[in-house]
Structures are given as C-alpha cells and as structure tokens.
C-alpha cells in the first residue's frame, strides 16, 4: 500500500509496457535486422549469404533502381507542386464567411482521401482505360479529346499524377482550412482599419501565419509521394511496371526485389536508400522551421 496522494512508482512503466514491448519487437528489432540484411543476399527468408556492401554497389549500378528513383522523384515533386496551390485555393474559397453548405463541400471534396490507394488504384485501372474508360469518354464528350489516348501505357506517369491529385487535394485542403481558421481575426480587422486591401492582408498576415502548416503539409505530401506503391501497382493490374518501367516506383521495386525475387537483403538496401532521402527531407524541413523561428 503506498502513501495516499502520491503516484505509484510502477504506474508509468505499467502504462508504457504494452507499447514498449511491441515497439521493441516490431520496430526496433526489424530496424536492426534490416541493417544486417543489407549485408546479405537472401533467397526467401532464412537463407542468406554474406555479401558485404554488395547490395549497395549493385543498387548503384542497377539501371532499374535509377529508373524507379527518377519516376518516384518526378511523381513526388509534380504532385506536391500541383496539389499545394490547388488545396490552398480551395481552402480560401471554403473559408469565406458567407459560404453556405460548407460541411457538404468539405465532405465531398475530401471523400477520395477516405478511399485507400488500393481502391483508387483499382478504380483508376478502369477509369483510365482507352475508349471504355470514364476519363476519355467524358473528355471526348466535353472537349472532343482523343478517345484512344493511351493513359495506361505511354502516359502512365501523367495518369498516376492525375489520380493522385484527385485523391489528395481535398485531404491537403483540410489542413489549409484549419490553418486559415486559426488566423488571428483581430489582426486582419486592425489591418483593414489601417486601409490594407484584401490582397495586402492576405500577403502580409494570412500567408505568414499559415506558413508553418503549409510547410508541414508540403513535407507530408513529399514523404508520401516518395513512398507511392499501391496506386501504380494496382493501376497496372500487376502487369509489371508498365512499358519501359514507366510506372516503376522505389517501393514497387523494393517489393518486387523482396517478394517476387525473394532477396530481402537487396530490398532492405533499397529501403535504406529511400529512408536516407526521407530523413534528408525532414532535416531540411526542420532547419527551415528553426531558421524562421529565430
């Protein structure tokens, strides 16, 4: 029996135990294991051969790895560059005081993000079909667009980008909208008293105060863009990576190396290359954040 009013010394450890145990087994240990794996070539789990830095050297000389990295970079940068301004614009439109039906607009525009990348990928595999797919039919009806436009072969990357924009713009909009709602109204009122017009208020008050959120959303968008897998994998109906590997992404290549070929070592090396890129992105983001605060 402990003294009344004091915390029991075992309590914090009791509450942390389930997290710490599973975390140690399913996150820390796999991290260690992945370092070990990078130095081995495996043939399925359990059969490994020591190769030292061989996996990394192979990776640097592997044309497919560079194709995957190039595709992924293009995908992450393009989708972020298009989604961010679009999401901000939608959030500004949604933030007008006189707007009615706000929750319905929000629900509808956000809805694609609820549908996982798997199902968006499966839908896209049909929507982007030539002739029978929705996109070409609607575009043909509206703008007399070529109904045989080959989205799923030659223009795979644009199709992936279009699908991603459709899916994630509303998701990003939610963050911008929350940030806009947190902008200090008194400050805006004071500025208009001093004769600042709408544009000046937006540029000097609104934009600086949503910058932290904008930075965060951009980082998240880039990070998830670099990890893209399900969308192209299911869009191609497992038909490989598309012509000339046009739909091959880094995680898809990791998956194929690890589970189609069975080399978990090579897959781990690809995983570390990806992790390095993502950690560098996070560091750049934190640096900019810190410099701004000083």
Partner 1 sequence: MTPFGRTFFLNIAKIVTYALLTVTCLVTLTPFFWMICAAFKTKEDFFACTFLPHGDGLFGIAWSQLTFENFVRIFTELDFSNSILNSFFLASTTAVLSTITAAMGGYALAKFNFKGKDFITSLVFAAIIIPTPLLIAPSYQLLYQIDLLDTYWGLLLPAVAPAFGVFLFRQAMLNSVSTNLLESARMDGCGEIQTFFTIVLPLVRPMIGAYLLIVFLGTWNNFISPQIVLQDADKFPLSVAMSGLQTTYRSEYGMISAGTFISIAPVVFLFMLLQKEFITGLTSGAVKN
Task: Report 140-199 residues binding partner 1 (CB under 8 A).
Answer: 141, 166, 170, 174-175, 178-179, 182
Of 67 and 176, the one with the shorter C-beta distance to partner 1 is: 176
Rounded Cα distance between 195 and 89, Å, is: 24
Of 67 and 179, the one with the shorter C-beta distance to partner 1 is: 179
Q: Is residue 284 a contact residue for partner 1 (CB under 8 A)? A: no
Q: Using CB atoms within 10 A of its CB, is residue 7 exposed (0-12), middle (13-18) or buried (19+)?
A: exposed
Q: Is residue 20 a contact residue for partner 1 (CB under 8 A)? A: yes
Contacts of 12 (CB under 8 A, 6+ apart): none
Piece in contact with partner 1 (CB under 8 A), picked from 17-25, 73-81, 151-159, 186-194 = 17-25
Contacts of 242 (CB under 8 A, 6+ apart): 152, 153, 156, 232, 236, 248
Q: Is residue 29 a contact residue for partner 1 (CB under 8 A)? A: yes
Rounded Cα distance between 53 and 35, Å, is: 11
Q: Is residue 122 a contact residue for partner 1 (CB under 8 A)? A: yes
Of 134 and 187, the one with the shorter C-beta distance to partner 1 is: 134
Side-chain half-sphere of 235: how many Cα atoms within 13 Å? 34
Which helix H or strand E contains 91, and what residues bound it?
helix 63-94
Per rule CB under 8 A, count of chain residues that contact partner 1: 94
Binder among 31, 61, 63, 193 for partner 1 (CB under 8 A): 31
Rounded Cα distance between 219 and 179, Å, is: 16
Piece in contact with partner 1 (CB under 8 A), picked from 61-69, 77-85, 102-110, 153-161 = 102-110
Piece in contact with partner 1 (CB under 8 A), picked from 49-57, 58-66, 183-191, 233-241 = 233-241
Rounded Cα distance between 262 and 253, Å, is: 12
Q: Is residue 23 a contact residue for partner 1 (CB under 8 A)? A: yes
Rounded Cα distance between 27 and 21, Å, is: 10
- Min dist. Cβ of residue 64 to partner 1 (A): 16
Task: Report 199-218 residues binding partner 1 (CB under 8 A).
Answer: 212-213, 216-217
Q: Is residue 138 a contact residue for partner 1 (CB under 8 A)? A: yes
Q: Is residue 261 a contact residue for partner 1 (CB under 8 A)? A: no
């Amino acid at each position: 029996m402990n003294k009344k009013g004091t915390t029991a010394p075992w309590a914090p450890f009791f509450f942390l135990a389930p997290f710490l145990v599973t975390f140690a087994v399913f996150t820390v240990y796999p991290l260690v294991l992945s370092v070990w794996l990078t130095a081995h070539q495996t043939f399925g789990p359990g059969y490994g051969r020591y190769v030292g830095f061989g996996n990394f050297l192979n990776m640097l000389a592997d044309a497919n790895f560079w194709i995957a990295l190039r595709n992924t970079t293009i995908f992450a940068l393009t989708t972020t560059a298009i989604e961010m301004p679009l999401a901000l614009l939608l959030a500004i439109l949604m933030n007008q005081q006189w707007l009615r039906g706000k929750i319905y607009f929000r629900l509808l525009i956000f809805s694609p993000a609820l549908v996982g990348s798997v199902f968006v990928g499966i839908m896209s595999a049909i929507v982007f079909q030539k002739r029978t797919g929705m996109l070409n039919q609607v575009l043909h009806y509206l703008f007399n667009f070529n109904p045989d436009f080959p989205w799923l072969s030659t223009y795979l990357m644009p199709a992936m980008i279009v699908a991603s924009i459709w899916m994630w713009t509303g998701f990003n909009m939610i963050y911008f909208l929350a940030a806009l709602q947190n902008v200090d109204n008194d400050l805006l009122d004071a500025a208009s008293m001093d004769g600042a017009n709408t544009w000046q208020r937006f540029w000097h008050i609104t934009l600086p105060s949503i910058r932290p959120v904008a930075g965060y959303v951009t980082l998240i968008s880039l990070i998830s863009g670099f990890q893209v897998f399900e969308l192209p994998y299911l869009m191609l109906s497992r038909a490989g990576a598309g012509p000339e590997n046009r739909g091959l992404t880094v995680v898809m290549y990791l998956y194929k190396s690890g589970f189609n070929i069975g080399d978990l070592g090579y897959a781990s090396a690809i995983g570390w290359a990806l992790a390095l890129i993502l950690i560098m992105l996070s560091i750049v983001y934190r640096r900019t954040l810190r410099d701004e605060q000083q």
